[in-house]
């Protein structure tokens, strides 16, 4: 497998960035949904700090991922994909990128406008990106929460589409985002085999 994307496959770096973001978002979401119901105390403060630091890590990862995407490009659509499906997939992908930015940024705005401090894993402080304001805090909090439910809905549709391609279309859509050799490289399809002459 190459580091860079090729015309028909995601390279190692794009795959790593994709699956690292999936794991990170899952952890941040589980922590986020749990922490809001905890009783006030030192554990709650610690878990909020972890949520925020992981969220900021995702923000850097997504920035890196977009830079890599513009540099390394993307594979061609899998052969046989109808144009309308390509359009929907592309719109969904860019919406996912937008939400991967909007969630950490709205969290950061909420944190700043509520007047809370922000540290990265206890290592250094991050600046406030908004003035203290009750209105802005309410707005950014709502964006953070509803943005998360929108992300979840899109991710479910996105992962559902990947499994649909894999199980029912039996094409390379999911395989080319996973490490290992492609099915078509292991076993050429009948169409790609040279014609064998008739026995008689
Ligand atoms: C992809 C990144 C992120 C995701 C998926 C995410 C997700 C969530 C979720 C699901 C909640 C619970 C919402 C609720 O039920 O009320 C939450 C709450 C919260 N998040 Fe995030 N978050 C992310 C990044 C951040 C960042 C970077 C910060 C701060 C710098 C942050 C600050 C907060 C705060 C302060 C709350 C609590 C809000 C409250 O007390 O009602 N989040 N987040
Ligand atoms: C938090 C969850 C996820 C996010 C935010 C996410 C985001 C993305 C984005 C933005 C792309 C487009 C890459 C580009 O064009 O630069 C992509 C591609 C892809 N994702 Fe995800 N993804 C998530 C979860 C999943 C899951 C769970 C699966 C499968 C089970 C999956 C399978 C794929 C596949 C197969 C592609 C490549 C599609 C193609 O080659 O056309 N993703 N993902």
Question: Taking the domains of the chain in order of start, what are their residue ranges?
Answer: 12-178
| Closest ligand to residue 152's CA | 2
* Cα–Cα distance for residue pair 73/155, rounded to 1 Å: 22
DSSP E strands: which ranges in 94-196?
Answer: 119-120, 124-125
The CATH class of 12-178 is mainly alpha
Amino acid 182: pLDDT = 59
Amino acid 82: pLDDT = 92
- Within 6 A (CB) of ligand 1 lie 25, 28-29, 32-33, 36, 51-52, 55-56, 58, 103-104, 107-108, 110-111, 118, 141, 144-145, 148
**How far apart, in Å, do the first and last CA atoms of the chain sit?**
43
- C-beta of residue 179 within 8 angstroms of C-beta of residue 1: yes
Residue 184, both tokens? 């078509």
Q: Is 175 in the pocket of ligand 2 (CB under 6 A)?
A: no
Mean pLDDT (10-residue bins), the chain, 200 residues: 92 98 98 98 97 98 98 94 94 98 98 97 98 98 98 98 95 94 48 37
Nearest CA to ligand 2 atom 30: 159
* Cα–Cα distance for residue pair 151/67, rounded to 1 Å: 21
**Reported pTM:** 0.90
Q: Is 162 in the pocket of ligand 2 (CB under 6 A)?
A: yes
């Amino acid at each position: 497998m190459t580091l860079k994307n090729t015309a028909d496959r995601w390279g190692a770096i794009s795959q790593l960035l994709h699956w690292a973001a999936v794991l990170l978002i899952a952890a941040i979401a589980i922590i986020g949904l749990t922490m809001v119901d905890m009783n006030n105390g030192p554990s709650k403060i610690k878990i909020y700090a972890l949520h925020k630091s992981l969220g900021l890590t995702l923000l850097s990862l997504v920035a890196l991922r977009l830079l890599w995407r513009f540099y390394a490009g993307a594979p061609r659509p899998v052969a046989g994909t109808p144009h309308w499906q390509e359009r929907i997939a592309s719109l969904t992908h860019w919406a996912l990128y937008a939400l991967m930015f909007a969630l950490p940024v709205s969290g950061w705005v909420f944190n700043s406008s509520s007047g809370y401090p922000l540290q990265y894993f206890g290592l250094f402080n991050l600046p406030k990106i908004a003035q203290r304001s009750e209105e802005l805090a309410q707005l950014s909090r709502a964006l953070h929460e509803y943005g998360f439910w929108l992300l979840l809905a899109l991710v479910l549709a996105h992962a559902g589409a990947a499994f649909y391609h894999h199980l029912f279309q039996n094409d390379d859509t999911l395989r080319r985002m996973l490490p290992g050799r492609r099915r078509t490289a292991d076993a050429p399809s009948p169409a790609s085999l040279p014609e064998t002459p008739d026995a008689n």
